[in-house]
Amino acid sequence: MSLRIAVIGLGAWGSTLAKLFAEQGHQVSGWSRRQGGDPSVVLSTAELVVMATSLSGVRSLASELAPHWPEGVPLLSCSKGIDLHDLCTASQLWIQQLPQLQVVVLSGPNLASELQQGLPAASVLASDWAPVAGVLQQALSSERLRLYTNADPIGTEVAGALKNVMAIAAGVCDGLALGANAKASLLCRGLVEMGMVIQGLGGEAASLYGLAGLGDLLATANSPLSRNNRFGLALAEGLTRDAALAQVGATVEGAHTCEAVLALAGRHGWHLPICEQVGALITGQITADQAVGRLMGRGLKSEELVMLA
């Protein structure tokens, strides 16, 4: 099944997907802000639109493209994070503009550099529109990218967003050479915080243990290809937020997500100690060593786990 696919956003991830889909025999056109021009032009003949911009670009593009959206054409949303203005996910930003839009979320352990090298990966297509997700699963799966489906787009998006915050914390852990025990403990407790937010925003706890949750966390927290991990390493070296971002040289979604999730925590009364320390470190309120001391010095308690419904 060949599709006419419009890819909006041709950074590392968008370019990787465009190439992957073209190799599968799909007709791919693309638009990026760097190239300029009218992004609505590529929508006119599209049977699927893939949104692969950073989250910061979604709001303006959703508003700009909504009046030109072809009827019945689904959106594959690949943007990860939580919008700081509305404290919502990328798919929710689109639905604000196009309430009947058939949105499918793509997320999982899919580091662009590895896919560019021809290495295999698996991801999940999450949607309230099960038939659409099923069609895209068949059309977009390949020998290099195996796709699964689920019916929890919010849980999938929140997991994909928060694992970036935990990857920053993991980078700090690596940068301070705290060892395997500390990192394993950090990631385990990070899953608890991720699960609290997923359930608090109406997602399903099971998504925490899927490809977009645990799967993506393992890849992002451990790979030197991860921008969020490298950002954490830079913070551990004592660099400021801006200097660390400059050293990474690319968008670090986890930094923005951390600010947004802490705003959500304040609104809902969630206790997210790892996110809190990452946020304080990013804003220069504490050092990396102080962040570790605060986490280790908290009051003792029973182990709280996110249980599957």
Same structural domain, 136 and 192 = no
Same structural domain, 215 and 88 = no
Residue 309 domain flag: no
Torsion angle, CA of 118/119/120/125, rounded to 10 degrees?
Answer: -70
Confidence of residue 300 (pLDDT cuts 50, 70, 90): confident
Same structural domain, 55 and 187 = no
Same structural domain, 142 and 164 = no
**Dist CA 255 CA 271 (whole Å):** 18
pLDDT for the residue numbered 259: 97
Residue 301 domain flag: no
Residue 214's DSSP bridge partners are none
Same structural domain, 171 and 275 = yes
| Residue at which a domain ends, from 93, 117, 151 | 151
Report yes or no: 127 and 105 within 8 Å, Cβ to Cβ: yes
Residue 307 domain flag: no
Same structural domain, 39 and 104 = yes
**Going by DSSP bridges, is the β-strand pair 121-126/103-107 parallel, antiparallel, or unpaired?**
antiparallel
pLDDT for the residue numbered 233: 97
Report yes or no: 31 and 49 within 8 Å, Cβ to Cβ: no
| Residue at which a domain ends, from 127, 151, 175 | 151
Q: How many domains does the chain have?
A: 2
pLDDT for the residue numbered 299: 83
Residue 100 domain flag: yes
Residues 80, 163, 183, 301: which is the catalytic one? 163
Same structural domain, 135 and 220 = no
- The residue among 282, 159, 166 whose CA lies nearest residue 221 is 166
Does the active-site annotation cover 163? yes
**Dist CA 263 CA 243 (whole Å):** 24
pLDDT for the residue numbered 307: 55
pLDDT for the residue numbered 288: 96
Instruction: For residue 96, count other CB atoms closer than 10 A to its CB.
Output: 15
Q: What is the pLDDT of residues 62-73, one digit of tens each?
A: 999 999 999 999
Same structural domain, 260 and 234 = yes
Same structural domain, 190 and 54 = no
| Residues whose CB is less than 8 angstroms from the CB of residue 192 and which lie 6 or more positions away in sequence, other chains included | 304, 305, 306
| Residue at which a domain ends, from 119, 151, 183 | 151
Residue 302 domain flag: no
Same structural domain, 140 and 163 = no
| Mean pLDDT calculated for residue range 189-202 | 95
**Dist CA 220 CA 163 (whole Å):** 7
| Residues whose CB is less than 8 angstroms from the CB of residue 26 and which lie 6 or more positions away in sequence, other chains included | 2, 3, 4, 5, 139
Report yes or no: 12 and 113 within 8 Å, Cβ to Cβ: yes
CATH of the domain at 271: 1.10.1040.10
Residue 304 domain flag: no
Boundaries of domain holding 131: 4-151
Same structural domain, 70 and 164 = no
Q: What is the pLDDT of residues 111-148, one digit of tens each?
A: 999 999 999 999 999 999 999 999 999 999 999 999 99
Residue 142 domain flag: yes
